[in-house]
Every structure is written in structure tokens, then in C-alpha cells.
Amino acid sequence: MVRLSFALSVLLAPLLVVGAPVPLVSKRAFQAKSYPQFQISSTPAGTAQAEAAAIFIAPFNGVDLKTVPSADINAMSNMRVAAENAETNFNSAIAAAGGTKTAAGAILQNGKIKNKVLKLTGLLQIDLIKASFTKAQGDKNVDAAIADIQTKLAANIKIDVASKGKQSKSFLNGST
């Protein structure tokens, strides 16, 4: 009887502790989307940085990047590739509109710049996540690639901000 009482008290004691943290099952922070679902080129120029951050950065706010699941990294990579592939479509649409000197071409060019900000923001976040793994393992040689992406991103953000409020359009049909 004493053994049973002792065994029950050992097993049930954790249930009686008040104020002990209860582990929560968290849902995945990042959700994979198709390009038409996450493209940002159809909203006015000048907002690309905030829009891209909402897609690729905000889902990881407060998250230790070393804990990001490989499924999230793969989803982000697929989305970044989709944004990169969209550049070809933008180039074709701009050419078909008569180039960037035409009104229609300039609007598409604004969309292309927003798309570049989106693509580079995704690439930067992916590299920051991967760097958190490699730096944790002692590799300090990842900063040069990140700095290069940051330079390209800053240049495209500057172009987008310079066009603030101007119309922007995606190459996708039905985008305005």
C-alpha cells in the first residue's frame, strides 16, 4: 500500500503544481502560398519593404531562427524562386507595353521593382535562417553573402520609395 501511495504521489505531483508553465503546441508560423497569393506588385509603389516583410519576416518575429523547421525554409525557398521567375514575365510584359518609357511600361516597372524587393527579402530571410544554423556551428563566413543581398535590397527599396504613391501593376492578368 505504501508503494502504491508513493508511486501515485510521484506520478500525480506534477499535476498539482500551480503556476507551472504548460507547453503549448504552436502552429507553423509560415504558410506556403502560390505566387498570385503572395505577390505585392498590384499595390501602389512605395510600400514594397513593408509588404515583403509582412510575408517573409513577420511570421518569424520572436522566433529563434535556429528553430525554424526545414519545411518552412523549403516553402520560403519555393516562394522566392517563384518571385525570381516572375521577373522574366515582368520583362516580357514591359517589352510588350513598349518599354519603361511608356505609361503602361512604367507601371509594370514599378511592379517589377516591388517584386525584386519581395524576392530579395525572401532570399535575405532564408540566408539569415541558414546563417543562424551555420553560426551556431562556429562558421562565421556567412556575412559577406548576407551583406551583398542587403545592398541589392536597399537599392531596390530606394527605387520603390522614390516612386511612392505611383501606380504599380503585376504582369498577372486582372491585376491593377
Residue type, 164: K
Tell me how far apart the alpha carbons of residues 169 and 108 are, in angstroms, rounded to a whole number: 5
Tell me how far apart the alpha carbons of residues 91 and 99 are, in angstroms, rounded to a whole number: 9
**Between residues 4 and 45, the one the model is more confident about:** 45
What local confidence, expressed as pLDDT, does residue 135 receive? 72
Percent of the chain past pLDDT 90, that is, above it, reads: 73
Give yes or no for residue 173 having a pLDDT over 70.
Answer: no
The answer to whether 160 and 46 are in contact (CB under 8 A) is yes
Domain ranges for the chain, please list them. 32-162
What grid cell was written down for 174?
Answer: 486582372
pLDDT in tens, 97-111: 999 999 999 999 999
Q: pTM of the full predicted structure?
A: 0.81
Give yes or no for residue 28 having a pLDDT over 60.
Answer: no
Q: Quickly tell me which residue has 548576407 as its cell.
A: 146
Q: At what angle do helices 103-136 and 70-96 cross, to 10 degrees?
A: 160
Tell me how far apart the alpha carbons of residues 129 and 122 are, in angstroms, rounded to a whole number: 11
Contacts of 85 (CB under 8 A, 6+ apart): 35
